[in-house]
Homo-oligomer: A and B are copies of this chain.
């Protein structure tokens, strides 16, 4: 391993230059005008996978964006890692809030700023470089590894389930490794053992066939923007509790042991508020901030649009109003069951003065694994070697729906091996990745393959 680690340390600068090239591709899967960029990014990843020595590299087409596949299967008898990552990124709006262009990666104060730096190109690239170091120095890896990189993670991984089902045998492995999550905090590496699920909706209300003059019609016609506000206001109570009947029925209560562990974590509310410019924290009473985001479900408005939103004043009574609303779920809430409860509740809330259209966008199941899984333990040791510190065990508020897919379709446990930071601005302007964490992440990944090599199959 020393040769491998030396190689990684020597090539530090080159890795950054290469990563910048990957980050320069605006592979925004949510926007049709970037379809060619998404394709180009898949090809870039395939070329890179060939360069580092992976075999059978190819783009596997799906009804949407292709999956990039590559493997190294030269360690018979050793465990096989299925590595999952994604090469697509979130949209960049509002663009004017970016301090440097989102697709011209810029290093400032030890962080690399670009859309996709943390979510997920930077973390995928870590593994490319760990594999490269092993193959360059030893001519082999201590484990077998199969890479799959999808191009639709940011739009709900609609075609990944089908892809996994269609390639069950080719994807056979012992464990899934995913680097698409964060460390607990700067200097506190962590292993994540639980994720929230997701259900995402768009609601469209229409109150008239066309926008009306608010003077001539105001007071005599329902205002869909007002009706939408009324409906949304009835979705959570003032304490932040979701009011959809049956919403909490299947929620597994937070364990006392977890609460005890999490209370020991160095979480600083003052700093959290200051870092994110939050005037006052808000959430369900009787739960801490970590508990609220890791172990409690929530309902959030992701977007609102109605009427005139430009500068100045336009006296319009809008014809339509739109909201994007999503729910984060915890074990054992089922996304389909929750989606149905939501649809029924929204239908009940909508008055007859408007027409309602509810569109289910995408979803994912919540997920949890156990501490004592040997692959999870191996990951803990690798992290300790890469970062010089024992990791803490945490859950995450975000969703990686594919984790449930791997569990259900392939029967595989997942190890979430992430090096992002809480202020990485994933999905927001000025996304960034800490350069030291990127570097230590490459070392930890190299150790990860080594540690997993010794696990009995």
Contacts and interface: CB of A to CB of B under 8 A. Distances in A.
Given A213-B426, A427-B211, A221 B281 contact: yes
Given A213-B427, A226-B232, A328-B214, A293 B219 contact: yes
A324 B304 contact: no
Interface of A: 30-32, 90-91, 93-94, 97, 154-156, 182, 196, 198, 200, 202, 206-223, 225-226, 228-230, 232-236, 238, 240, 276-284, 289, 292-293, 296-298, 300-319, 321-324, 326, 328, 351-355, 361-362, 396-399, 422, 425-430
- Oligomer copy total: 2
Given A209-B277, A229-B232, 20 more contacts: A31-B311, A182-B216, A216-B422, A217-B397, A219-B293, A219-B296, A220-B397, A222-B278, A222-B280, A226-B232, A226-B235, A279-B354, A281-B353, A304-B305, A304-B306, A304-B321, A307-B324, A312-B361, A313-B361, A315-B427
A93 B131 CA distance: 53
Nearest to A156: B313
Nearest to A235: B226
Given A292-B220, A314-B30, A226 B307 contact: no
Q: Which of A309, A318, A399 has the most CB of B within 10 A?
A: A309
Given A228-B304, A276-B209, A215 B312 contact: no
B200 A313 contact: yes
A324 B315 CA distance: 9
A158 B344 CA distance: 48
A20 B352 CA distance: 41
6 contacts: A219-B240, A225-B302, A228-B229, A305-B309, A307-B324, A309-B324
Nearest to A230: B233
Contacts of A282: 220-222, 351, 353
A428 B316 contact: yes
A219 B397 contact: yes
Contacts of A425: 210
Contacts of A314: 30, 90-91, 154, 302-303, 324, 427
